[in-house]
Amino acid sequence: MLIRGVERRSKLLFARFSSTLTSAVKEAGWAELTAEVNAVGGFGRGIEEVKKKWICVKSDAKCRLAAVKNEHKMTGGGMKVQDDVSSMENRVLGIVGKVSVHGIDSGYDSSERLLARQTGIVFYL
């Protein structure tokens, strides 16, 4: 229920603030989501608990994807990680977005320049 509710409200919950999208509007969205979660689960969670649960679900999905990616890069040996992420994890990763999971495709690695400045060694590719 949490993932479905976040999917329906993702633009409201995670969009940038504007003159029409205020923190009060976002909090109302989280309150609606919390009411839906509590209607099904019955645990009586608060808004902050639902937000924390979403953060944990999102983090778990990203860690799972990282484990699968690392498994594909390994050369033999070690424990086998399940090849595919689940449909639930795919839904979470769809909400989070590609950049949040994989990073910027043609991004600039600022740590390389810092290392070059500290060591005086510059690598040209």
Task: Provide the residue-wise pLDDT of the chain in tens; the chain has 125 residues.
Answer: 899 999 999 999 999 999 999 999 999 999 999 999 999 877 789 999 999 999 999 999 888 888 877 777 777 655 665 556 778 888 888 888 766 766 666 655 555 555 555 565 555 54
The reply to whether 107 falls in a domain is no
The reply to whether 111 falls in a domain is no
Supply the range of the domain harboring residue 66: 2-102
Q: Tell if the pTM clears 0.85, that is, is over it.
A: no
Number of domains in the chain: 1
Q: What is the 3-state secondary structure (H, E, C) of the chain?
A: CHHHHHHHHHHHHHCCCCCCCCHHHHHHHHHHHHHHHHHHHCCCCCHHHHHHHHHHHHHHHHHHHHHHHHHHHCCCCCCCCCCCCCHHHHHHHHHHCHHHHHCCCCCCCHHHHHHHHHHCCCCCC
The reply to whether 108 falls in a domain is no
What is the predicted pLDDT for the residue at 125? 46
The reply to whether 88 falls in a domain is yes
The reply to whether 35 falls in a domain is yes
